[in-house]
Every structure is written in structure tokens, then in C-alpha cells.
Chain A
Amino acid sequence: MPTVAVDKADLWERLGHEYTTDEFDKLCFDYGLELDEDTTAEVEEAIKKGLPAERPQLKIEIPANRYDLLCIEGIARGLRIFLQKSAAPVYKLVYPLGGESNLLTVTVNPETSTIRPFFACAILRNIKFTPRSYASFIDLQDKLHQNICRRRQLVAIGTHDLDTLTPPFRYEARPPKDIKFAPLGKDKAYTAEELMVLYESEKHLSKYLPIIRDSPVYPIIYDAKDQVLSMPPIINSDHSKITLSTRNVFIDVTATDQTKLDIVVNIVSTMFSEYCDEPYTIEPVKVILANGQTRISPDLSGRYMTAHPSYVNSCTGLSLSATEVSTLLQRMALTASVSPSSVDEINVHIPPTRPDILHECDIMEDAAIAYGFNNLPDKFPTTSTVAQPLAISKLSDVIRNEWAFAGWVEVLPLILCSHEENFEWLNHEDDGNTAIKIANPKTLEFQVVRTSLIPGLLKTIRENRSHALPIKIFETSDVVFKDVSRERQARNERHAAAVLCNKSAGFEIVHGMLDRAMKMLEIPRIGNDDLKAETGYYIKETSDAMFFPGRAATIFYRPVPANKSTISSIKHDIQTALHVNSDLKIGTLGILHPTVLEKFEIGFPCSALEFTLEPFKKQMQKVWTNED
């Protein structure tokens, strides 16, 4: 969320009241803002010490979709209306003498469609800046650039002293070598190619260069004398820069979509139109689009929507009349009037400053904010439902509790890990079909989503060297495997794992943990050559480079046949006769290989056990499934 710093004394003057910090905090809270900081105490402290100090500021957090509150002008305007100290202003387009035919024009060249197709502009006539309002004007552009404009990628704003320019203007796209002008702050002209090199080292501009760098043509705005206004989204020209004494401001906006273009040009022009000799007036410009159509820019007409008091009441739990709802909406700067034709209809005009309103529910929310969230009646939903835990959670809890009862400690390592922790360090090869890989981790610790709980347990042992031996830890949590059959191409699997670290490895101890878990799940232990038993588990020697040779085993589970039909029992008999088994490999256990211990910097022998819990989920009354 953006934070805006406003001049405290200036804001109190605009609001016509000097608030205490607590009072203003409460006002912000009710309106949906958050007072982050009041620098008054800091400033007073500095003055006491004789240090240079700025004027006291209030730092206010603004909801990310309220672009109309990104400057003191908008905040004061919004709060005054909320406090019913003034009515919402009506923003007006004022044509020059002579009307439409005397409008300034901008012609959009078709070439621009390949790089930054949308263009809008506005003129603020007879404006008077003060140093503070000038700073605010620059700051608002910056705030918009960082937020809705997504660091100028989607929208870029340029502002110019109109009196330095000669209309009409042209918005074009040209090869960079054919563009040459003196950019803001430089007295020498550079080609666009040169600028791209020059700005590489200027931190505040270099981040914008990639937006257009690789395009064969760059967007560029010229006046009638081929004077450059700006090269969006990078830089304005020095020639047309605005100053404190600028009286007529030309605003250009370029964008990659029409909606954000309109939002930005409307916000910039409406916010600062208050400094025009005739406040809240904006002179439009005729934009001749590439397809020959013309558009009057900006479009401040806003939108009309219908709000239903019945809807507002049914969503909020209130019983307000249409008039009451209208009054609440007025306080949120929406023009509202009860429809003459229906008592359940309010005609609402959405001003150009409120593009956040998309649906009637947004109007409903404004009514609720004006009413006060904390003033709503005390209610409780009557929805009657039956509680239901997930089978996998119940199963996990059984294992967690039984293992803790057995004297083991539950740990909680991270799910993301490095590639080598998950593979190389366990002496396992990455076959490319197992683990999910992350494209943009900030550190090497987070390259893959783990496919085993063992690395996390070993890292925990490594970090707990000072703990007395034996260390007996376990975790019951999810690992993730690639699964191309699913929409999300991946599958979580609930695993249970335990590692023992002691002066001797103790295979039989982790084996005992497996036996205990199975006993609690009532899974019988069967011989590893027993093909007749209907269900059960057994372990069988295996070779796995993670384990010490001759001290590694696979855990097999033979599930109970899904239904005891004759067919399945015949199938079972046939399998038995043919010595085929369809037993599930559910995990492994063994003494960890010394090379594994070395990688994890553990100086004592360890035994490890890991198996999946998925086959042991109890068939519960099915309430929800997430299995696509």
C-alpha cells in the first residue's frame, strides 16, 4: 500500500480544524486510511537541538485502488466531503474561446501501436503553483508511476510548460537513432540511442529503460516545430519543463491500455485543477487517433450506476431508506439521488476520480464506510453446519501424537530447499521428473520444493549440535511431486519421517518407530515372502545410495482389497499363484550413508525413516475433495 506524506499544518488548514494525533488517527481509521506516523515530535526534537528540520508531516497509508487519495489535495478533498464540510466538486471541461474548433490537437501516428498505443492529454490553464503544491504535483506523478502505472510499464505521465511549445502536437514512434533532444536536466542534445546508454548509470531512470529498449521504434511526442515534449516512459525534454512560475500545464499520458490511460489522465488533471484560476476546470485537447477518429481528452463524464437500497441493506444488515443511503453516498463523493420512478433505486454518478468503483457492491461498501463499520448492528450468522476435520489431518495427528508419546520431538523445517540438499547431498540423482523447480528464488536456499522430509530433519540436527545425544526428531508434513496428469502439474503428498542421531546408528530404533506407527494403524506385520496374507506391511533389503550398504530397506504395504468381491479374491489368488504382487512401496528406512552425514556436517551416525501416509487415510464421510 502506498504511503503519502502530507504537510500537517497545510492539511489542518484545508480541513479547517486542528486535530490531535489520536483524533486524526480515528478519522483516518473510519475512512479507511491508516495514520502511519506523525513527525511532529521528531521535528520539535530536532529544533530543540538546533538541527535543520522540515515542517511536521503526517504519513498516511492509502488503499491501493484509491488513486484519488495519493496527494494532499485529494486526501483533504475526500475528508472534507466525508466530514460534510463541503460538497463533492464538479470537474468541468472548459473549451477555449471559439469552442471545439480552437482546441489544441494531438495526432497519434499509427506506428505507436507497436510500442505504446494509447495516448491522452489535458491542459491546466492559469494555474498558480506554490513551492509546496509544485512538490505535491511532482510527487503525485511519482506515486501514480509506482502504483497503477506499474513503474511506468503500463502508463507514463509527462508534464510541460505549454507556453514553451507550439501546438499542434504529434505522438509518434521512431527508430531511436532518429530521435534527438536535450532531456530534462541536460543542456546538450542526445539521440535516443545515446540516452539509453547515458541513463544506464542513473539509478532512478535505468529501471525504466527495459520497457522500450528492445523495440525498433521508441515513443516520442513533438510540437509543431519538432521540439520534443517527451520520450515516454523514460524522460521529458528540458525545453518544456515546468517550473514554479509555469501558468499553463500540458499533461501527456501514454499507456498500454485505455482504462488505465483514462484513470491516470483524469486523476492528474482533476487533482491539480484546484489551483487553476477557476478551480476544477480543465481544458480538453482533441486527439486524432491513428484510425482517424477523434477523441476529446480527458473524458471527465464519469459513469452513471443504479444502486438499490434493498441490496445495500441486505449486504450490510441495515434497514436504511433510499434517502439515508443517498446521504451516505454523498459523503463518499458520489453524487446520488433517489430515482423519481422507484423508491428502491438511487441514481449514482461516479465521478472521474473514483475508477475503483466497478460494481454495485463498491457503492454498497461506500455506504457502509460512511455509516461506520464499527457502528453496524451486532449480529451473528445463523448458518448451521456440521464440523468435519480432514482425514489426512486426523491421520497425521495420530502419527504425530504416537511418535511424541514414544519420546520423539516434532520439528518444523522449511518446505523449500536447495537442489543439492534435495538430491546430491542424499546421493540421489535428479531424473527431471520428480521435483518442482522455482524460477525466481531470491536465495539458493529455495530452488526446489522438497520431495523428502529427510533434508530438513538433517539440517535441524546440524543446527542443534549442542543438544545432548541421542537426538530423536520427526516431522509429518507435505512434500510435492511433479504430476503431469493434473491441472496444476503437481501433487502434494503427506509424509512422515524420523531421524535418530546417536553414538551408534540404531537401525532397529527407527524400525521400531515404523512398527509402532503401523501397530497404531492396525496394519499387521507380514513376512516379506508372504504372498498369501490379505493385508499388512513388511520391509525388504534394498540398495539406495542414501543409505549404508546392507543397512537399507524398502517399506511395502499391501492394502486391504477395495471390495471383497469374488473377482478381486480370484485376482488375489491368481497373483499369489503367479508370485506377482502389487504391494505399494511406501517408503524407506536405513542407516544414512557417511557421505550424506558429511554433506550435512553431522559427526554422529544417523538412522532415518520416511514413508507416505496417503494409503492410510481413513475413508471418512466425504465432505470435500481436492483430488482433481
Chain B
Amino acid sequence: MSEALQQLLLDTLEAHSDINDTRSLILPGQAQPASSNEDQITILGALNSLLSRDMIQYETHEVLSHVPTAEGAQILNDGSHEARVWSVLPVQGQGDPVTPVQLKKKVGDETAKVGQGRAFKNGWIAKAGDGFVKLLSEIRDVTQVDLQEIAATGSLQAGEKVLADLRKRKLIIQKKGQWFTVHKGSKFSTSTAKPETDLTADMLATGSWKTSTYKQYNFDAEGIPTAGGALHPLLKVREEIRNIFLEMGFAEMPTASFVESGFWCFDALFVPQQHPARDLQDTFYLSDPKESLPPDADYYKRVSTIHEHGGYGSAGYRAPWSHEESRKLLLRTHTTASSAHMLYKLAAKCRGEAIENDTGEYTHGATSTSGQGEKVFKSDDGFRPAKLFSIDRVFRNETMDATHLAEFHQVEGVVADRDLTLADLIGFMRVFFSKMGIEKVRFKPAYNPYTEPSLEIFAFHPMLDRWVEVGNSGMFRPEMLEPMGFPRDVRVHGWGLSLERPTMIRYGINNIRTLVGHKVSIEGIEHSPAVMF
């Protein structure tokens, strides 16, 4: 139909160069001109399709017309109520008058009620006895005739007064209609072949791409969204930070131990047994299992001694030592617990202990950089430098709010070498943070039980216009390193930061619960941008 219609429009234009009134067209398959609104809407569709190809131009004309209502349509077919009443009555004197009850049965309640009054008024019928009879043998049903005219033309010669009366009687309603004047367009042709929207394999095969016309592409429209998976934004940042470490020559530490003992999480790090971090308020302790197996007895003794009595040049904490506190199992509060374990392993050779498969295990190909070169190997004390990192989950028994969860990721770096200096640590931190896009950093002296000196790292936040703390760092204390067996000239730098903080800044997130945990929106994950520090 639509193609035939388009062809009709084009052929008519070809023949007459213009179509003055589309209501005069006779649509394909129809006998009458397309005077109805429905026809004009059909024509409009065809016109728009041709217009989009610049084959025609058209103007729209609006017209008000009338159409019968459902009741009007019934009158159109069956006559008015009064005519129907009149038609069922006998002519006066030629039969029994029809009683009101009989009338209702014959024409229905509604028609009997309305028609009876109007027929009297028109003088068509009269009362006879207890019924009604016809007064006239012929009548002219004006209402039906008017409706027929309206149905055919949309209007009435009789004029507005009669129309208004019919509207009042709810037999017709007013309706807005359209018709069109059509002219040839710049690309007028009588061919309705559609332009192509895409280049297809068929076109390549047949070569039709050479002669086809192509529809203009709408460059303002959006592309079709992709279907596909997505990685979690926090882990995208993790990968980026992991890459920074790898770019700087760090080996990844195993951290697969969420459960630690008080010994490894605190004692080995020279955190006093009465330190507030060890409170039930801050640390998750385990109820099952409760206690660790004993660590290496010699090492344990060295650690407990330095706490209780001092040694290695330190006064120690000189506070009572509790074995129970040391053996308590807990969820690690920092990955430094894992670092401590790794450093203990790194010092194995210094302690004169053999570690299985240790050939090349601790050196990862590096040689000492103490500057003494060969000499070191002659009196080899077993130490090899190491740069280690980890990014993994830690647990704090915190009350949760917008910026704190009971678990978060800690980024941790460790550098162990002979004669490392505080200046090296600061210089290294500047490079590390500049690789994360943080250029302005400064360092504040701070307290941390296992590092001395300890430095808090502050970065200038341009949006907040102030310095904000971004991490902690320091040189591990001799009280931690020497009981492990490290030679005195070995210094170990350590630093840590949370993974969540830079991620929240990167993605402009204020509530950590929208980043980590099961309340995170899957859609948010699907739409979070890539990370490139």
C-alpha cells in the first residue's frame, strides 16, 4: 500500500506537476476520493517518506470537519428516534393504536422515550385511545438526511446553527483534519527505490554499491550500547598501582593469610602488648580457633626479650610479657604482618638457616648495592636486598560509616638494603606518588611503634585547597629487624596507604559502601571508566 501510494503521488505530480488538494486523490484500491481524515493520515506517511529523500515538498492545510458520534452513526443507518417511533405505528383508523408498553417493546426504551416526544412535536403522530397512531403517511427525517450529508462531506450546507444543534444533541463532534498541497522536490523522480542505509555483503557481491544511493547518516545519534562484562573499579585501581610497583622493580609478596597471631601482627613488629591497636575495640579476635601454634622458639624468645627487657641497644618496653596475648589469633589489621613474616624469611640466611629451594630465591637476580661490591661476598652474611609489595585485604573492628568499612585494602611497599637513608625513603616516596599523579607531597614526623623515623605523607589536594594525609611510611625499627637476624647496617623502608582512598578520589565517590561490598550497583561497575595514573 505505502509503496503504491508513493508511486501514485509521484505519478500524479509527474502528470500535473502539482497536487493542489490531496483530498481529491483516489487512493489505490478505493473508489471514492480520499476525503476522510484516515486517508489523509495515510497520505501524510507517504509524503514524509518522500520528503526525507527530497523527492517532494508539501504544505499542510488544516480544516475543521464534523463526524457522527456512535449515536449519530446509528441514526445515519436506522433513522432518528422519532422516525423509528413513527414507522412502527398504524395509520390513524387503520389498526389498533400501539400502547406505550408495546412501543417500548418494539423500538426499545431509549428510542421510545426520546422519539415519542419529538414525533408529537413534529406533528407526525397522535394519541388514539390508550395508544398512538400515525398522523402522516409520509415524513422527511431531516436529522438522518443532515447526518448523511455530514458523514459524506464533513460539513452541512444548512449552516452552523443546525450543526450546533446536532453537536448539542451529541450526534456529531468536531474534528481537526488535514490536507496537503504537494510539489516536486529537488530530487524528484518517479522511481520509489529506497536509498541504502548500510553497506552490505550483497552489495559487494553484486557490485550494486557503485550505483546505489545512500541515506544520510545521523551523526548526532548515539551509538548502540555494547553488551559485555566489566572489571570492578577498585580492582582497576589495584592493577594500576600494582603496575607502578612492577615498573619500579618490586616483587609481589604472598599475603594469603587473613588470620594472624598477635605475635606476627604486633609483637614481631615491636608493637607493645598494651598498645591500643590491640584492643577488642579495634581488632577482630577469633573465638574458633583461638590460639596459634608457637612460632620458632628462638625467634620468639628474642622478640619477647626485647619487649620485656630490651636489647640490641634498646631499652625495650620493660612491661610484663604475656604469652597468651602473643598467641591470640586475630584477623590481620595490616598487611605489615605479612611483610614481617617475609622479612623474617629474608633474614633466614643471615641467621645461618637454610631455606628450602633458596638458590636465587631471595635475591631475584639482584646483587647487594652496598657499594662494597665483591667484598660483601667474601664475608657473606647472607643478606640480599629486596623490594617487595602487596595489595590485599585487612580488617578493623570499626564502626562503619561513609568512609570506614570493617575491611579495606592496604597497599604496602618494603625496600630492604644496606645503609638505606631517610633521604632515600623521602626521594622514593616522591617518585612513587608522582607515578600516581600526586606531585606535591610533604612529610610530617609521626609516631608508629614499628618505624623510626615515622613519616606521614601529605599531598596537596587542589580541589580541597589543603594538604591531606595520603599514607604512612618509615624505617623499620632495629628492635624489629635485629631479632630477625638482619645485620645492623641493613635498613628497611616501609610505607602503606589504603587502596580505597585514591579510588574514591579517582571516581569522585563519597560513600565507601557504593564502592565496596554487596550494596554496590552492578550498573555502576559496568559504567566506571578506565584508570590511567
The residues of A with any CB-CB pair to B shorter than 8 Å are 1, 29-32, 34, 63-66, 147, 150, 154, 256-260, 303, 314-318, 356, 358-362, 364-365, 368-369, 373-374, 376-390, 392-393, 397, 400-401, 403-416, 432, 436-443, 446, 449, 456, 459-460, 462-464, 467, 471-473, 478, 480, 482, 484, 486-492, 494, 621-627
Contact of B260 with A488 in the complex, beta carbons under 8 Å: yes
Q: In chain B, residues 203-235, which have Cβ atoms closer than 8 Å to a Cβ of chain A?
A: 227-232, 234-235
Interface residues on B, range: 35 or more
Q: List 8 A-B contacts (CB under 8 A).
A: A63-B446, A380-B428, A383-B385, A386-B365, A386-B366, A400-B231, A437-B287, A442-B399
The one of B252, B316, B431 in contact with A380, judged by C-beta atoms closer than 8 angstroms, is B431
B387 contacts the other chain (CB 8 A): yes
A34, B249: Cα distance in complex, Å: 34
- Interfacial chain B residues near A376, Cβ < 8 Å: 422-423, 426
Contact of A373 with B251 in the complex, beta carbons under 8 Å: no
A384, B387: Cα distance in complex, Å: 8
Residue of B nearest to A25 (CB): B467
With A317-B423, A412-B517 already in contact, the answer to whether A389 and B246 are too (CB < 8 A) is yes
Which of B315, B329, B362, B452 has the largest number of chain A CB atoms within 10 A? B452
A63, B367: Cα distance in complex, Å: 38
Contact of A385 with B250 in the complex, beta carbons under 8 Å: yes
Contact of A314 with B230 in the complex, beta carbons under 8 Å: no
Contact of A490 with B259 in the complex, beta carbons under 8 Å: yes
Determine how close the nearest CB of chain A comes to the CB of B468; give it in whole angstroms.
12
Which of B249, B454, B522 has the largest number of chain A CB atoms within 10 A? B522
- Interfacial chain A residues near B405, Cβ < 8 Å: 414
Contact with A along B365-389 (1 / 0, CB 8 A): 1110100000000000000011110
Chain A at the B interface: mostly helix, strand, loop or mixed? loop
- Interfacial chain B residues near A316, Cβ < 8 Å: 421-423
* Stretch in B4-12, B45-53, B475-483 touching the partner: B475-483
Contact of A315 with B251 in the complex, beta carbons under 8 Å: no
With A403-B229, A623-B364, A624-B345 already in contact, the answer to whether A387 and B251 are too (CB < 8 A) is yes
Contact of A409 with B522 in the complex, beta carbons under 8 Å: yes
Determine how close the nearest CB of chain A comes to the CB of B239; give it in whole angstroms.
8
Which of B312, B320, B426 has the largest number of chain A CB atoms within 10 A? B426
B138 contacts the other chain (CB 8 A): no
With A436-B288, A478-B256 already in contact, the answer to whether A257 and B422 are too (CB < 8 A) is no
Which of B235, B421, B455 has the largest number of chain A CB atoms within 10 A? B421
Contact of B478 with A487 in the complex, beta carbons under 8 Å: no
Name 4 extra pairs, CB < 8 A, besides A32-B445, A381-B420, A478-B393: A257-B320, A377-B423, A415-B407, A488-B259
Contact of A381 with B428 in the complex, beta carbons under 8 Å: yes
Contact of A404 with B250 in the complex, beta carbons under 8 Å: no
B156 contacts the other chain (CB 8 A): no
A30, B446: Cα distance in complex, Å: 10
Contact of B258 with A438 in the complex, beta carbons under 8 Å: no
With A65-B447, A150-B274, A460-B520 already in contact, the answer to whether A488 and B422 are too (CB < 8 A) is no
Determine how close the nearest CB of chain B comes to the CB of A407; give it in whole angstroms.
5
- Interfacial chain A residues near B295, Cβ < 8 Å: 487
The one of B229, B235, B239, B422 in contact with A412, judged by C-beta atoms closer than 8 angstroms, is B235
Determine how close the nearest CB of chain A comes to the CB of B106; give it in whole angstroms.
59
Residue of A nearest to B426 (CB): A376
- Interfacial chain B residues near A361, Cβ < 8 Å: 452-453, 475, 477-478
The one of B286, B475, B479, B518 in contact with A439, judged by C-beta atoms closer than 8 angstroms, is B286
With A379-B423, A409-B229, A412-B517 already in contact, the answer to whether A624 and B253 are too (CB < 8 A) is yes
Contact of A393 with B518 in the complex, beta carbons under 8 Å: no
- Interfacial chain B residues near A492, Cβ < 8 Å: 256-258
Determine how close the nearest CB of chain B comes to the CB of A64; give it in whole angstroms.
5
B317 contacts the other chain (CB 8 A): yes
Contact of B523 with A467 in the complex, beta carbons under 8 Å: yes
A376, B428: Cα distance in complex, Å: 13
A223, B295: Cα distance in complex, Å: 50
The one of B320, B406, B443, B447 in contact with A446, judged by C-beta atoms closer than 8 angstroms, is B406
Determine how close the nearest CB of chain B comes to the CB of A387; give it in whole angstroms.
4
- Interfacial chain A residues near B518, Cβ < 8 Å: 411, 413-414, 456, 459-460, 462-463
Q: In chain B, residues 21-39, which have Cβ atoms closer than 8 Å to a Cβ of chain A?
A: none
The one of A359, A373, A487 in contact with B292, judged by C-beta atoms closer than 8 angstroms, is A487
The residues of B with any CB-CB pair to A shorter than 8 Å are 227-232, 234-235, 239, 242, 245-261, 264, 274, 276, 280, 284-295, 310, 312-320, 329, 331, 338, 341-342, 345, 357, 360-362, 364-367, 369, 385-388, 393, 395, 397-400, 405-407, 415-417, 419-428, 430-431, 442-447, 449, 452-455, 458, 475, 477-479, 489, 491, 493, 516-523, 525-526
Contact of B415 with A381 in the complex, beta carbons under 8 Å: yes
Which of A356, A441, A464 has the largest number of chain B CB atoms within 10 A? A464
A414, B516: Cα distance in complex, Å: 7
Contact of B286 with A464 in the complex, beta carbons under 8 Å: no
With A385-B387, A390-B252 already in contact, the answer to whether A359 and B423 are too (CB < 8 A) is no
The one of B261, B274, B310, B320 in contact with A487, judged by C-beta atoms closer than 8 angstroms, is B261
- Interfacial chain B residues near A443, Cβ < 8 Å: 400
Contact of B395 with A622 in the complex, beta carbons under 8 Å: no
A1, B289: Cα distance in complex, Å: 32
Determine how close the nearest CB of chain A comes to the CB of B516; give it in whole angstroms.
6
Contact of B421 with A369 in the complex, beta carbons under 8 Å: no
Determine how close the nearest CB of chain A comes to the CB of B444; give it in whole angstroms.
5
With A626-B255, A626-B341 already in contact, the answer to whether A374 and B229 are too (CB < 8 A) is no
Contact of B426 with A438 in the complex, beta carbons under 8 Å: no
A66, B448: Cα distance in complex, Å: 12
Determine how close the nearest CB of chain A comes to the CB of B21; give it in whole angstroms.
50
Contact of A385 with B407 in the complex, beta carbons under 8 Å: no
Contact of B452 with A407 in the complex, beta carbons under 8 Å: no
With A387-B249, A414-B407 already in contact, the answer to whether A440 and B228 are too (CB < 8 A) is no
- Interfacial chain A residues near B285, Cβ < 8 Å: 438-440
Contact of A373 with B293 in the complex, beta carbons under 8 Å: no
A410, B235: Cα distance in complex, Å: 9
Residue of B nearest to A361 (CB): B452
Contact of A438 with B284 in the complex, beta carbons under 8 Å: yes
Determine how close the nearest CB of chain A comes to the CB of B361; give it in whole angstroms.
6
Contact of A464 with B431 in the complex, beta carbons under 8 Å: no
- Interfacial chain A residues near B229, Cβ < 8 Å: 403-410, 472
Determine how close the nearest CB of chain B comes to the CB of A460; give it in whole angstroms.
4
- Interfacial chain B residues near A467, Cβ < 8 Å: 521-523
Contact of B280 with A440 in the complex, beta carbons under 8 Å: yes
Contact of A150 with B258 in the complex, beta carbons under 8 Å: no
Contact of B317 with A34 in the complex, beta carbons under 8 Å: no
Contact of A489 with B289 in the complex, beta carbons under 8 Å: yes
Determine how close the nearest CB of chain A comes to the CB of B326; give it in whole angstroms.
12
Residue of A nearest to B258 (CB): A480
Which of A1, A31, A369, A381 has the largest number of chain B CB atoms within 10 A? A381
A400, B422: Cα distance in complex, Å: 39
Residue of A nearest to B345 (CB): A624
Contact of A490 with B257 in the complex, beta carbons under 8 Å: yes
Determine how close the nearest CB of chain B comes to the CB of A358; give it in whole angstroms.
5
With A303-B315, A405-B229, A492-B258 already in contact, the answer to whether A373 and B445 are too (CB < 8 A) is yes
- Interfacial chain A residues near B318, Cβ < 8 Å: 257-259
Contact of B397 with A441 in the complex, beta carbons under 8 Å: yes
A108, B249: Cα distance in complex, Å: 61
Contact of A464 with B329 in the complex, beta carbons under 8 Å: no
Determine how close the nearest CB of chain B comes to the CB of A479; give it in whole angstroms.
9
- Interfacial chain B residues near A64, Cβ < 8 Å: 276, 447
The one of B234, B288, B291, B445 in contact with A31, judged by C-beta atoms closer than 8 angstroms, is B445
A313, B244: Cα distance in complex, Å: 30
- Interfacial chain A residues near B247, Cβ < 8 Å: 387
A251, B496: Cα distance in complex, Å: 42
- Interfacial chain A residues near B455, Cβ < 8 Å: 373
With A385-B366, A488-B259 already in contact, the answer to whether A359 and B478 are too (CB < 8 A) is yes
A45, B397: Cα distance in complex, Å: 39
A368, B425: Cα distance in complex, Å: 13
Determine how close the nearest CB of chain A comes to the CB of B325; give it in whole angstroms.
13
